[in-house]
Structure 1
């Protein structure tokens, strides 16, 4: 039996993972922004399911909750930073408040969860960190600039942290799902107020993101099962791509990036220092 700490367990991947883990007999320490949203799981699983109220934008509260989970459960084997939401719209369409809230949640909140967990993972001699990202952490789309900014930021953070904590037996995995048939697009997705200037441009395509007539490809139950299974892989996979759409977007973006950079090899070397050492 393993013990998991998962942020945002009331919906989406967090809920799917929690249900699967509890069903198989693991313990879950979960956090929710909306109190009462997982009462059904608490009633069914009792002490097997530990719950705390948390908004990851409250950095000081993040550390309190993480410390409390370890104090009451004794050990946590896997930490999943999952809480987050989508914000779509052209950069110019977003308000300052929307920009700040997006980065506070998807970037700074995720960083806070990891930083709060690391002392405990080191003290117990290892464990696993799993960061839920998106294919948008490697590829970009018009109308997703701030969402991409947060996800690219957290992927850079986690990749660096992976190298920092490997000597302590702590593995790190960044999960990059494609579209999934969760309520993410409908319940937690925020859209900017449209500016007429962007009508008919590529950025305007995101305005139909909540259209239920175009279901996503991904099966959230299968995706959650893959995330859970990754915790047993040794060594930890640094990236876990889920969905054929995610694989296509990520590999295309990486190939395009290399194609842009590789022709610059000689020009890049030409700027090296050539004077006396």
Structure 2
């Protein structure tokens, strides 16, 4: 039995979670409900969440939501406000994985990746922000990835979308802080979700990239179902951090995420150190 105190009406939160049918989204909804909070659980097929609604009908609102369709975003946010009166935490979680070298990835696949994991997340954030600003309270949780900072062969499209969402979120955090709104960027490593399974989009393979992208394809296949990260523990960590009085901008999850991010930052620092003299030499001569 949980030893966590039940939230009071003053401390209970209302969560709005996109992509709630599986993976991090479902784990978050389950954790939120276990703590006594309320949640708007969204999915393209909300019937997949019927068991959650039956578990706590007074605290769950199901909404059909394809976040790439602005009219559905507006309707889902309006329904959330009508049902609960506010949204305390927005979690932009909906997404998919895509693997292919840049030359293997056509324009449609690249645009679809950016549309869902960048443009749609930004649009959903913009829809909720006015209500949070008006209340001078709220937290926006962006589920990016270790790929929001790092890269790997074949993950260019995926990492581009996650990098973009991280960049706009970092700017957003500075913009909304004076209004009492917080931003938390969550950077998971490899967790045992469907992202390596049915949600994975594989681009047609070219022999030219067998040694690089081909190796990543093999890794994905071998790793599926064996990832080291536990989604339930990740959900617990996210909810715990959101509950703090002060949140960090970034929250890496999984030891692999910590290791990869530190390695990437070390490479950036090394490049800057190596280029520093040349970089500074490009400034105007103060005596000119």
TM range (shorter): over 0.9
How big is the shift at 1:197? 1.9
Deviations 1:150-204 (A, max 9, x none): 00000000000000000011111100011111222112111111112222x2111
Q: Distance in 2 between matches of 1:234 and 1:148?
A: 31
Q: Distance in 2 between matches of 1:157 and 1:251?
A: 21
1:205 to 201, 204, 215: 215
**Is the counterpart of residue 79 in structure 1 residue 90 in structure 2?**
yes
- Contact 2:184–2:251 (8 Å) recurs in 1: yes
Compared CA separation, residues 27 and 214, structure 1 to 2 (3 A): closer
How big is the shift at 1:72? 2.5
Q: Distance in 2 between matches of 1:274 and 1:119?
A: 47
Moved more, 56-65 or 100-109: 56-65
Unaligned runs of 5+ residues in structure 1 are none
Compared CA separation, residues 34 and 211, structure 1 to 2 (3 A): farther
Counterpart position of 2:27: 16
Counterpart position of 1:53: 64
- How many aligned residue pairs are there? 276
How big is the shift at 1:233? 1.9
Q: Distance in 2 between matches of 1:56 and 1:213?
A: 26
- Contact 1:6–1:81 (8 Å) recurs in 2: yes
Counterpart position of 2:99: 88
Counterpart position of 1:35: 46
Unaligned runs of 5+ residues in structure 2 are 1-11
- Contact 2:46–2:62 (8 Å) recurs in 1: no
How big is the shift at 1:74? 0.5
How big is the shift at 1:270? 1.9
- RMSD value, Cα: 1.6
1:103 to 114, 121, 126: 114
Compared CA separation, residues 164 and 16, structure 1 to 2 (3 A): same
Q: Distance in 1 between matches of 2:154 and 2:222?
A: 16
Structure 1 moving runs of 4+ over 3 Å: 210-214, 274-277
